Homo-oligomer: A and B are copies of this chain.
Amino acid sequence: MESKISQGNLYDFYGEMLNEHQREVYEDFVLNDLSLGEIASDRGISRQAVHDLVKRATKQLEEYEAKLHLIEKFVNVRGKIKQINNLCELDDGEDYKKAMDEIKDIANDILEEL
């Protein structure tokens, strides 16, 4: 299976596309970090059924990302915002004008991306 971090990211973006039962089990496994066995026992279904559900839901979420690339876009924008943040961390006396120009370039890159 995918790493839980990546599954969490997929869920943050596309989780609303799953049905309620899928969401509950997926949350238990990925966000609440319960084991397959714990979830199975809580819900009176087999461990295998939980495993299959999480696997299928992950595949479904991955298909959304493969089509829409929205996580990729957001991660990209997030990286550029962090660059802007770093450029704002100048000590007094450094060249603000130059930093401003760089920030403007990055901001324009982001606008093109969105």
| Interface locus among A29-37, A41-49, A50-58, A92-100 | A92-100
Contacts of A84 on B, CB cut-off 8 Å?
84, 103, 107
Q: Given the known inter-chain contacts A77-B114, A84-B84, please indicate yes or no for A68 contacting B104, CB distance below 8 A.
A: no
Closest to A67 in B: B16
Q: Report the copy number of this chain in the oligomer.
A: 2
Q: Can you report 9 A-B residue pairs in the complex whose CB atoms are below 8 A from each other?
A: A16-B67, A16-B68, A78-B114, A88-B100, A88-B103, A88-B104, A88-B107, A96-B96, A96-B97
Q: A13-B68, A68-B70, A88-B104 are in contact. List 15 more A-B contacts (CB 8 A).
A: A14-B68, A16-B67, A16-B68, A78-B111, A81-B110, A81-B111, A84-B84, A84-B103, A85-B104, A85-B108, A85-B111, A88-B101, A89-B104, A90-B100, A92-B97
Interface residues of A (CB under 8 A from B): 13-14, 16-17, 64, 67-68, 70, 74, 77-78, 81-82, 84-85, 88-90, 92, 96-97, 99-101, 103-104, 107-108, 110-111, 114
